[in-house]
């Protein structure tokens, strides 16, 4: 559905130092290839969930011009004001090279304004343009409904726990002591 640049993802996501699959390391590659169930794997399910997120987002917002990630940029700039690319990358949790490409495309569409940072000419800063604010207001209601729609299949009493578990996987706590 969407192309992704995984080039700098290794700087954002690091595998655990200990082997998270102790049983798998003792099995032969042939046995693993024969018995591994793709549809039971977390990566496979996350990909399905990602597809569902994008489809629901498009349905609820009634458009496919502003991606969920671009919506995150527009919302963050609306709420935070002018930010450097590094600050924005931190807020929406994407690497700078992916963000830079997206920002250039959004600036070409006059959704945001990109300019030199007055205090540091080596960096750029971005701010929400009037057209970006208008687009944000057009899609924000649908985007706000997305989480409820995604969680609807879960019993209400399980939703908060599910969100805590997903957050632990998506944003593991920093290890203390190095």
Binned average pLDDT, 10 residues per bin, the chain of 178 residues: 42 53 72 93 95 96 95 98 95 92 97 89 91 98 96 97 94 72
pLDDT at 2: 43
pLDDT at 74: 98
> What is this structure's pTM?
0.77
Residue 155, Cα to own-chain centre: how many angstroms?
Answer: 25
pLDDT at 22: 52
Contacts of 51 (CB under 8 A, 6+ apart): 1
When the candidates are 3.10.105.10, 3.40.50.1100, 1.10.10.10, 3.10.20.30, the CATH number that belongs to 39-145 is 1.10.10.10
Q: Rounded to 5 degrees, what angle do the CA atoms 79, 59, 113 make?
A: 35
């Amino acid at each position: 559905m969407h192309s992704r640049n995984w080039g700098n993802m290794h700087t954002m996501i690091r595998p655990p130092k200990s082997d998270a699959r102790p049983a798998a390391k003792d099995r032969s590659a042939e046995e693993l290839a024969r018995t591994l169930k793709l549809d039971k794997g977390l990566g496979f399910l996350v990909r399905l969930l990602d597809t569902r997120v994008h489809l629901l987002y498009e349905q609820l917002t009634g458009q496919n011009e502003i991606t969920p990630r671009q919506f995150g940029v527009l919302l963050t700039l609306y709420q935070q004001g002018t930010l450097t690319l590094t600050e924005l990358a931190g807020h929406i949790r994407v690497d700078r090279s992916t963000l830079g490409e997206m920002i250039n495309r959004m600036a070409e569409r006059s959704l945001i304004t990109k300019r030199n940072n007055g205090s540091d000419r080596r960096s750029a800063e971005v701010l929400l343009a009037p057209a970006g604010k208008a687009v944000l207001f057009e899609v924000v209601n649908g985007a706000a409904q997305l989480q409820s729609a995604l969680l609807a299949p879960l019993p209400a009493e399980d939703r908060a726990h599910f969100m805590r578990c997903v957050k632990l996987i998506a944003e593991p706590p920093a290890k203390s002591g190095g």
